[in-house]
Amino acid sequence: MHIPDGFISPITYIPAYAASAGLWYIASKKVEIDSQNISFLATLSALSFVFMMIAIPLPGGTSAHLSGISLLALIFGPWLSFVAASLVLVVEALIFGEGGITTLGINILAIAFIGSFSSYYVYKVLKKRNETLAIFLAGWVGVNLSAIFIAFILGIQPIIASIEGKPLFFPFDIKTTTLAIMIPHMLIGLVEGAVTVILYRFLKKNFKVMFDER
C-alpha cells in the first residue's frame, strides 16, 4: 500500500507533508504516555512493522500486507496510534525504502492517520452492540479506508499533473486504481479484522494492565 517515489506530483505531496506535520503538532499536544506503557507501545509498533513487511499473496498474482494499526488504535487511542504508526512508516521509508521519501506525508495520512482514526471510531460506535464484530470491523475498515485514500491520490494524478493529456506521474485513472487496490484490500481486510480480534482478545486476557489504565 505504501506509495513509492516518482508516482505523485509535488502539488499533491507538498500539501500532504504540511497536513502530516500539522497532525504531528496536534498529536504532540494531545498525546500523553507514561514510561510504563512505552514497552507495550514499542512491542505493538514493532509488530505493526513486521506485519507491513510481510506480503501475503492474493488470488490474481497480487499481494497485500496487514498493518496492525487497528490494534494500536484500539489499545492506545487514535492519536498515540497515529504517532506510533507514523514512526514505523518513517523507519520503513528512510531505512528500508518501503514507500517513498516524497510520498511519506501521503503514506502517513493514509495509513497512520486514516487507519488509526477510522479503526478507533468504528470500534467506539459499534462496541456496545457486539464487541467482537466491532473489533473485526475496526480492522477491516481501517485497512480499506486507507486503501481508498491511496487509490484516490494515485487516480487523480493524471488529472492534476499532465501535459497535453500525457500524465507526468502515475498514469492510471481513478477507476483503474480503485479496482486494482480495493479488491485485494477488501480481502486482506478480512485477515486484518480476524488478526485484530485474536490479538486484542489475547492481550486483554494476558496483559490486563494495558487496558486497566484506560
Q: Which is nearer to another protein, 81 or 118 (CB)?
A: 81
DSSP summary character for residue 128: T
Nine cell digits for residue 173: 485513472
Return the residue of 25, 96, 207, 211 that touches another protein, per CB under 8 A: 96
Binding mask 56-95 for another protein (x = CB under 8 A): -------------------------------xx--xx--x
- Residue/partner pairs of 93-98 with CB below 8 Å, 24 or more apart: 93/2, 96/53, 98/2, 98/52, 98/53
Q: Which residue in this structure is represented by grid cell 506525508?
A: 105
Q: Which is nearer to another protein, 53 or 160 (CB)?
A: 53
* Shortest Å, Cβ 148 to another protein: 27
Q: Which is nearer to another protein, 46 or 156 (CB)?
A: 46
Across 43-181, where does the E strand assignment appear?
Answer: 56-57, 63-64, 162-163, 166-167
Round to whole Å and give the CA distance between 40 and 61: 36
Q: How many residues bind another protein (CB under 8 A)?
A: 19
Query: In this complex, which beta carbon is closest to another protein, that of residue 92 or of residue 192?
Result: 92
| Range 20-39, binding another protein (CB under 8 A) | 33-35, 38-39
Which CB sits closer to another protein, 93 or 181?
93
209 binds another protein (CB under 8 A): no
What are the Cα distances from residue 55, in Å, to 33, 66, 196? 32, 8, 17
Cβ at position 90, least distance to another protein in Å: 9
CA distance 154 to 179: 12
Q: Which residues contact 20 (CB under 8 A, 6 or more apart)?
A: 86, 104, 105, 108, 109, 113
Q: Which of 23, 41, 80, 85 binds another protein (CB under 8 A)?
A: 41
Cβ–Cβ < 8 Å for 149, 1:
no
Q: Largest Cα–Cα distance in the chain? A: 60
53 binds another protein (CB under 8 A): yes
- Residue 118 interacts with another protein (CB under 8 A)? no
Residues that bind another protein (CB under 8 A): 33-35, 38-39, 41-42, 45-46, 49-50, 53-54, 87-88, 91-92, 95-96
